[in-house]
Amino acid sequence: MKNTFIYLSIIALVTIFSCKKEAVIDGGVSDPHVNMTTYDFLKSHPQHLFDTTLMIIDKAGLKDKVNSAGTFFVPTNYSIRNFLLAKQNEWRKKDERLNFNLDSLFKYYPQKMLQDTMSVYLFSDRIVRDNLTESGTMFQTQEPATKLLVTLEKSTSGDYLEDGIISQGPKLLYLTKIYGERDVMKNGSLSDPSGKASLNDTKLICQTSGIISTTGIIHVLNNQHIWAFRR
């Protein structure tokens, strides 16, 4: 059963509606087209994986922008939850009784801040797998001060290989925010050339990529991502 599941993942027949905390990472979808807008696609998810994300989009007044963007790298509910927990932990260093939830976010983050934060995930370009490389391309986000790196990299994990059936891993999509200089491989791991850990890049894998709505391209970020690229 496990081998069959891996095989189906690699030939891109894994469902695009994965919603577990430890999400399946696939190399694309068999038929990428969905006959609805980007917003409606997110809203229609059967396990409601994007409900909290959509609440922020609505509060920020970004529905039309989401539907007019060339590409949306979508943070899931888990990413928002990770952010809220991080903020709560920060607050509780001062007072352990304090909570930080979605109501707190909407209370303390004005609409412009919500717009700017979510716009980091929106791109005017149509970013599709066919035009990407392992070395990557920097793309301007719809937040004017932010550019992000998009790469398409071959998986080196043996989990995707099957003797006699699959000899090469899939190519997976990554979104990276660069701090300082781009990380380089050193002693078997990526780190900033300066050696400062605070300047290490934030590199995110997409759990699903290449969905084509009637209004743009959708790539879904992994559930471990912390919204707003908080570290």
Tens digits of per-residue pLDDT, 86-134? 999 999 999 999 999 999 999 999 999 999 999 999 999 999 999 999 9
Residue 12 domain-assigned?
no
Residue 19 domain-assigned?
no
Strand ranges inside 52-168, DSSP E = 71-74, 122-123, 137-140, 147-154
Tens digits of per-residue pLDDT, 52-70? 999 999 999 999 999 999 9
Residue 98 domain-assigned?
yes
pLDDT for res 30: 77
The Cα–Cα gap between 74 and 56 comes to 12
For the chain, the average pLDDT equals 88
Tens digits of per-residue pLDDT, 182-219? 999 998 899 999 999 999 999 999 999 999 999 999 99
Residue 18 domain-assigned?
no
Token reading at 213: 């709505």
Are 86 and 226 contacting, i.e. CB atoms less than 8 angstroms apart? yes
pLDDT for res 18: 43
Question: What is the extent of the structural domain holding 216?
Answer: 2-7+25-229
Task: Lowest mean pLDDT of 12-21, 119-128, 217-226, name the range.
Answer: 12-21
Does residue 33 sit in helix, strand or coil? Answer: strand
Residue 64 domain-assigned?
yes
CATH number at residue 180: 2.30.180.10
Count up the domains in the chain and report the number: 1
Q: What is the mean pLDDT of residues 150-172?
A: 69
